[in-house]
Chains A and B, each alone.
Chain A
Amino acid sequence: MSGEVFSALRQALHEEEAVVSATVVSGEPLGAKFLVFEDGRTVGSLGSPELDAAVRADAETFFKSGEAETRTYRLSDGREVEVFLEAHLPPRHLVVIGAVHIAIPLVAMAKELGYRTTVIDAREFFATRERFPHADQLIVAWPDEALAQIKITPQTDIVILAHDEKFEDPALHVALRSRAGYIGAIGSRKTSEQRLERLRRAGFSEEELSRIHAPIGIDIGAKTPAEIAVSILAEIIAVRRGRIGQPLRPAKTSPAAVSGDGG
C-alpha cells in the first residue's frame, strides 16, 4: 500500500469518516489502491482512469451495505482485473434511553461488540459513571433534548428502556423522525400497544410505527437484566443483517415449538 493511501485510510479510521477502499488483487498493477469517500473525493488509483471510474460508481452500494467483496472488471483494452472493495464504516452507535438496571449489562456487552455507547437519563443519580463505567458518553437530560445533541445516522441504534411515557414518548418522537438503523422499546405487549396508540394520535403513520421493535428483543426466554441485554443485542444484530433470529439447526429437529409467549 502506498504511503499516501495508507495515511489517508488511517486518518479516515481515526476521524470515523466512512471510506471504501479498493485493491487490485489479481491482474496489473497488483496491489494498486484507491480510496473513495462518501462525498466522492478519491485518493490513489488502480492504474487506469476507466477502472477508477467504474470502482467509484460501485463504491456507493458498499457505503450502504458495509460489506466487502472481490469483483471482476473487464476493461475496454480486453484486460480483466479483480478488485477487492471494502467499506470501512464508523463504529455503530448504541443510544440507550433510560439508565435503568438492564442498561448496565447492555452497555457493557455492546462495548464488546465494538459499539460506541451513549446513555441518556434525566435523573442524574441513574446516569452515573459508577453505574456505567463502559459508556462512552453519559447525558443527563430529557431524552428529546439529549437526542438533539447526537448525530443520528443509519449506523445509530436506539434502545428505549425508560418504561415511562413521559420519558419514552419524547424519545420516540425524535427517533421516528431520524434515520436510526434500529428503534426498540421495552414493555409488555399491552404497554407496546398503548404506546402505539399514543403515537398514532400524535400523527405517526403505520409505516413509521412499524420501525419500532416492541416488545423489544428476540424470544430466548430472557429473565435477568444480562439475559435481556443478550436478547436485545441479538435482535439488533439480526435486524442489521436482515435476519429474523432463529436456531441454525434445521427446524424439524428443533425443540423451539414448545416455547411460550416470552419476550
Chain B
Amino acid sequence: MVRRLAVLLALLLLAACTGGGDGDGTPAASATQDVSGVIVVASGRDVTGKNGVRQQLIDAWNLREQRAGSQFRARLVELPGSADEQRSQLLGALQSRSARYDVVNLDVTWVPEFASAGLIGELPGDLVDGDVIPSVAETARWDGKVYAAPFNSDVGLLYYRRDYLERADVERPDLRPGLTWDGLRDLVETVEARPAQGSYSKGWTTQLAAYEGRTVNAVEAFASVVEDFALVDGDGHYTGTVEELTDGIAELRRRTETAYTLQNAVHSDEAASLSDFAEGRTAFLRHWPYVYPTLYRTFTQEQLGVVPMPGRAVLGGQNLAVSRESTRPGKAAELIRFLTGRQSERCLLDAGFAATRVSAYGDGVRCPTAADAPSPSPTGEGADRVPRDEGGRPAYARTILLPALRNAVHRPRTPLYGAFTQTFTAQLGPLLGDDPPGNEALAARLDEALRKALPD
C-alpha cells in the first residue's frame, strides 16, 4: 500500500511539474507576500469514503512543496457531516474568527452569501478558465468577480432498473437521453402492469423530506415548465411571479402523485431514497452522480442504468474559496489552482466525483491512479465494478454526466440563500401533505413568503 501510494504521489508530482499548459504549476505572484506555514482546508465530511482522493491530492501538493524546499503545507480539517452544520461553522467561524481557515470548500449555493458578506476573497480570474464547464463556472462568480474555483460538481440524474423494464417487456429497456416526464410515466405504468417480484412498491423515489432535497426537487420541477426559471435576478433580487410559481407547483404536484411516487419519498433524504431503490422498491431513482459507484456494487450492468433527468436537473457541487482572513492567500490560491487543475479533476472523475472541467471527460488528461498505478490486487479482490470506458472513466461520464452538467440549472443565486431555501421548503410542505391546497392558493402564499424572505 505504502509503495503504491508513493508511486501515485510521484506520478502526480511529475505530472504537476511537467504538465505545462494546464496551469497547475504556476504559482501566484502574490504568494511571495504570504506568511509561510500550514494552509488549513476546511471541507465537509465525506461518508462515502472518497476522501481518499481529496487527501491524496493534498498529499501530492505537499510533496511538491517539500521537494521545492517550500515551508508551506496544506492540511484538511473535516467538518460535520450535515451541510447545515458545515455552513453554520464556516459562517460563524469566518465572521467571528473563532477558528482559522485558509481555504473553505463551499456548496455552490453558498458562494453568493460568503462573497457578499466579505468572508472570502476574490481569486484570479484565470482559475476558472474556458475549460470549466460553463454552467459550473457560473457558480464560481458573484458580482462579476471570481470568488471560488469549482472543485467537484453534481447534477440530478435518473437511475433505473433495466431488469424491471425488461421484465415488463419495454421495447427499449436501455433508456436514452431525451426521456420526458410523460415518457417516464408511461414506463412506470408499463412496469406497474407487470410488477417485479419481491419488494417492488412504486414507480420512482426521490428526496422530498423538509430539507435541501425538497428545494432541489422543486426547482427541477419548476425549471422544467417555466422558461428561464430563476426566481432572482443577477443581483439576487426576487423576481418570481405568482403565475410561474403556479405552473411550477402544478408540475411538482404531477411529479409527486402518489400513483407514481413511493410513499416514503416524502420523508426521504439522499440515504433513505438510495436505500429504497437499492432494496428494489422502485424502478426509478432521482439521485446524484456519487451513488453511481455505490449502486454498481449492488447491481450489475444488466440491472442498472442511468440517464439525464427528464426536463431540467439542478446543479450541485462544491467550490474552493480563500478566506479573507487568510494570511497566506496567494499560496492558498496556488493550492486551489492545483486541486482544481486538469489532472486533479480527472482524478476526481475517476474516483466517482463529477469533474468540473471538460478536459477531464476528454482523452488528453489522465490520472496516474487509474491509468498507471498497479491494479489494486492481482487476485481480483475488490475488482472495480464500475463500468468504465476505454479511457478508464466511469462509462457514463461522457455520454450522460457531461451533457447533464451542461444542461443543468442553478438554484436561485442570492446571498440570502439560507432564508430562501428554508422558506421554499417550508411553504411547499402542504403540497405533500394530506390535504394539499390548490396550485394558485399555494403559489400566492409562496410568493408572499419569498418576498418577505428576499426583501428588495
Q: Do A and B come from one complex?
A: no
Residues of A within 8 A of B (CB): none
